[in-house]
Every structure is written in C-alpha cells, then in structure tokens.
C-alpha cells in the first residue's frame, strides 16, 4: 500500500463487508470466544468512484477502534479535500472527524432494508425500503452522495474470492491468510485488471487512472514483488 499516496481523488465511498474466519460466530469454540480471527471479521473499503481505485482497506472488527485506524490510514493518502459518503454505521462519525478535521465534505446515506415478502426463496437478499441522507460536515454535493460503487465493489469481492462465498467450506481458516488474500485481490484489481469504464482513450486500470502506474501490470510482475 506504500504506492497509494498523493492520490488525486475528490470523492470517496466507504463501506464494510462481512465474512467469517475459522467458523461462524455461533460455532466458535469456547476457548476462542471474543478472540479476533475466530468468527465475524469485516473488511473496510474506501473506493474512489471516479478512478475505481481502492485507496485503503482494513481487515478487522466492525468497531470504533477499527474505524479510526481505517480512516486515519486513508486521510494522508489523499491529495485534495474530498467528499466522503458512508453508510449509517455510527463509528464513522468520530473517525471521520478525527482523521480529516474540518477539511472534508461528509454525508451518511442511511438505508432501511427488509426481506421482500413476495420472495419465497430461503436466501433471498433484502430489499431497500427507504433511504435518507444525513449531511454531517461541510457542503457535500447532493448529486454525488452515493455508496453504490463501493457496494458493487463488495459484490466483486464476494464473487471473486472463494473465501467470501457464502454457504461453502472455502472460508478462511486463519485471519492472517484471509488478510493476505484481500491484499492480493486489491493489488490485482487496482494494478492489473483494466476497468471497462476507464477504456477511453485506452484500456486502463484504476492505478493508471489515478496516475500511480503507467501500464497494466501482469501477474508475473505482482508475483515478483515477493522478491
């Protein structure tokens, strides 16, 4: 992540995605109850919706300490004052203020979900019943208050990494391996995978669109970083 600095982003979308490690929380052995790396684990993600670059991420708990660590890592990576949109998760409020001070335009997009009563499938996803915008700080542009891109990125994570797939035995058994897989995923998505929306004037990766890379990386180049 040392390359992800002096980023030209003007807006950032943040979200968290759930997964579990070792076992689901209800199946965690008594001797490991409450121990990080056993049961629920969350990946915090900060995405630039213009370049599609994931500027920062964190694998951890879904609490105030992790929110603070996540956003204090993000803030110094950005060159400009940015507009940030998050969901209604309360730890963001203190963390954004601590990380950015007054130099941010910040809004929460709060959605209310419920299972669709017309769907009879056991694992039907919930639907959005209502959403409300809460301006927290600064003067965010109402037209750019959104978490749609980062939520779509989370879907890419769940579809692209076996350990995020629900109802399988492909889940991570160790949190260290899980964090390494997440880092490898974002390295590939940022530097090696051209994004269709960035194809004009030529195929580009998010890193190229952000000005921190001058070519599409190969898997061999990524593997060579281990040396």
Q: Using one digit for the tens of pLDDT, what is the confidence trace for 24-67?
A: 889 889 889 888 989 899 999 999 999 999 999 999 999 999 99
DSSP string computed for 160-186? H-GGG-TTSS-SBSSHHHHHHHHHHHH
| C-alpha gyration radius of the chain | 18
Q: Which residue has the tokens 């990946």?
A: 43
| Domain segments of the chain as ranges | 11-104+145-224
Task: State pLDDT tens for residues 60-75.
Answer: 999 999 999 999 999 9
**Mean pLDDT, residues 13-27 taken together:** 92
The number of angstroms, rounded, from the C-alpha of 81 to the middle of its chain's C-alpha atoms is: 20
CB-based contact 12:80 (threshold 8 Å): no
State the pLDDT at residue 97: 95
Angle ∠(131,149,13) on CA atoms, nearest 5: 75
pTM for this entry? 0.88
Under DSSP, the state recorded for 78 is B
DSSP string computed for 135-168? EEES---GGG---HHHHHHHHHHHHH-GGG-TTS
- Neighbouring C-beta atoms of residue 48, cutoff 10 Å: 23
Cα–Cα dist 199/40, whole Å: 37
* The two structure tokens encoding residue 183: 């880092």
Cα–Cα dist 51/71, whole Å: 19
Q: Which residue has the tokens 């992790």?
A: 66
Maximum CA extent, the chain? 56
Please enumerate in sequence order all residues whose Cβ is within 8 A of that of 125, keeping only pairs 6 or more positions apart, or say none: none
**Mean pLDDT, residues 205-223 taken together:** 94
Q: How far is CA 216 from CA 37, 41, 221, in A?
A: 34, 31, 10
CB-based contact 157:20 (threshold 8 Å): no
Task: State pLDDT tens for residues 139-193.
Answer: 999 999 999 999 999 999 888 888 887 767 788 889 999 999 999 999 999 999 9
Q: Which residues pair with 84 in a beta bridge?
A: 12, 106
The answer regarding whether domain 11-104+145-224 maps to CATH 3.30.1490.20 reads no
């Amino acid at each position: 992540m040392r390359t992800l600095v002096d980023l030209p982003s003007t807006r950032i979308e943040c979200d968290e995605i759930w997964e579990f490690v070792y076992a689901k929380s209800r199946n965690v052995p008594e001797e490991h109850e409450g121990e990080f790396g056993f049961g629920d684990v969350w990946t915090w993600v900060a995405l630039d919706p213009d370049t599609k670059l994931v500027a920062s991420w964190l694998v951890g708990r879904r609490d105030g300490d992790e929110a603070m660590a996540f956003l204090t890592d993000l803030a110094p990576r950005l060159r400009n004052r940015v507009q940030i949109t998050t969901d209604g998760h309360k730890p963001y409020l203190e963390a954004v203020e601590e990380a950015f001070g007054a130099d941010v335009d910040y809004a929460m997009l709060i959605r209310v979900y419920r299972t669709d009563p017309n769907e009879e499938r056991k694992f039907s996803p919930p639907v959005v019943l209502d959403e409300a915008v809460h301006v927290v700080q600064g003067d965010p542009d109402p037209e750019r208050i959104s978490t749609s891109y980062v939520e779509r990125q989370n879907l890419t994570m769940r579809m692209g990494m076996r350990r995020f797939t629900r109802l399988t035995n492909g889940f991570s058994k160790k949190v260290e391996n899980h964090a390494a897989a997440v880092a490898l995923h974002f390295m590939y998505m940022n530097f090696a995978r051209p994004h269709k929306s960035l194809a004009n004037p030529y195929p580009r990766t998010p890193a190229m669109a952000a000005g921190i890379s001058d070519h599409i990386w190969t898997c061999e180049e990524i593997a060579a970083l281990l040396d």
